[in-house]
């Protein structure tokens, strides 16, 4: 381990990217957990990645706006499909989400089957390249994050099923290109799991604390140990969540498992 090898000039934009992802994914992940559709993030992220792969096959510049549009359109199409299937066959929605994820994942494999760099592209899509994020790449995610948080605040508790899927697709489209599919899933689900037994009023700040600590430790250890940052961040998130869960009260009444909102006090 070499702490002297840590380059904070590289880690700083990567950490900022993680904070932007956390800002929207912590509250969205709580709703996902409460609805019992925990694999929706993997499915939508994989579909957004499929849009990125398709754009790459058309020789579009990886950092170009066309890639963002392709990923967004793919994710929105997947979100609208899942909103429809939940309305028609709600009893098997989790299974349908799983099938859609497998179809999107295997479609990506087929599209890249004859690409000599296909394996590298798939690895980058799944594990992400957060260490190579620059400040310039954060402009669009920052705007999307602010809009998403504004919508969540304005429609608190009144977000429709379709609205949730669309908002979720937009947020995931941006994050999957910054941090990869694995970190998208971990950021959405792990903090919500870690705080589920804590009092309702503490869940949101604790969930954000888990996320910030996980990203910070993961990036630092990645730089010091010269190991993949995405994988280490996932493990640091999990360890932070387990520690938070370990110090939680045994039982917190009948509060919803995935609820992070401040409860309304009746007089």
Rg, Å, the chain Cα set: 18
* φ, ψ at 254 (rounded to 5°): -120, 30
Domains delineated in the chain: 3-246 (1.10.3470.10)
Roughly what angle, to the nearest 10 degrees, separates helices 161-179 and 8-35? 150
Considering only CA atoms, which of 4, 81, 1, 17 is closest in space to residue 230?
A: 17
List, for residues 220-264, the tens digit of each pLDDT value: 999 888 888 999 999 999 999 999 999 988 764 545 555 665 433
Q: How far apart are CA 28 and CA 8, in angstroms?
A: 30
For residue 69, the model assigns a pLDDT of 85
pLDDT tens across 85-117, in order? Answer: 988 998 888 899 999 999 998 998 898 888 777
Alpha helices in 89-199 (DSSP H): 93-111, 118-127, 139-154, 161-179, 181-194
Q: Is 46 exposed, middle or buried (0-12, 13-18, 19+ CB in 10 A)?
A: buried
Q: Which two tokens stand for residue 217?
A: 């430790």
């Amino acid at each position: 381990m070499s702490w002297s090898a840590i380059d904070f000039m590289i880690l700083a934009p990567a950490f900022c990217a993680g904070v932007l992802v956390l800002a929207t994914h912590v509250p969205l992940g709580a709703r996902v957990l409460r609805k019992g559709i925990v694999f929706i993030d993997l499915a939508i992220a994989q579909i957004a990645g499929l849009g990125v792969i398709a754009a790459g096959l058309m020789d579009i510049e990886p950092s170009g706006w066309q890639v963002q549009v392709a990923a967004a359109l793919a994710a929105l199409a997947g979100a609208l499909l899942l909103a429809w299937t939940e309305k028609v066959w709600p009893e098997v929605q989790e299974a349908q989400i799983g099938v859609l994820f497998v179809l999107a994942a295997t479609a990506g494999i087929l599209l890249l089957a004859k690409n000599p760099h296909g394996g590298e592209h798939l690895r980058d899509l799944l594990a992400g390249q957060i260490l190579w994020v620059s400040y310039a790449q954060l402009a669009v995610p920052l705007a999307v994050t602010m809009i998403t948080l504004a919508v969540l605040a304005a429609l608190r508790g009144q977000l429709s099923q379709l609205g949730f899927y669309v908002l979720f697709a937009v947020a995931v489209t941006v994050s999957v290109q910054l941090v990869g599919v694995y970190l998208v899933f971990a950021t959405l689900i792990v903090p919500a799991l870690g705080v589920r037994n804590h009092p309702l009023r503490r869940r949101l700040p604790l969930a954000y604390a888990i996320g910030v600590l996980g990203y910070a430790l993961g990036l630092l250890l990645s730089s010091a140990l010269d190991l993949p940052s995405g994988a280490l961040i996932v493990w640091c998130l999990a360890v932070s969540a387990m520690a938070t869960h370990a110090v939680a009260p045994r039982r917190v009444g009948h509060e919803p498992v995935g609820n992070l909102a401040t409860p309304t006090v009746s007089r």
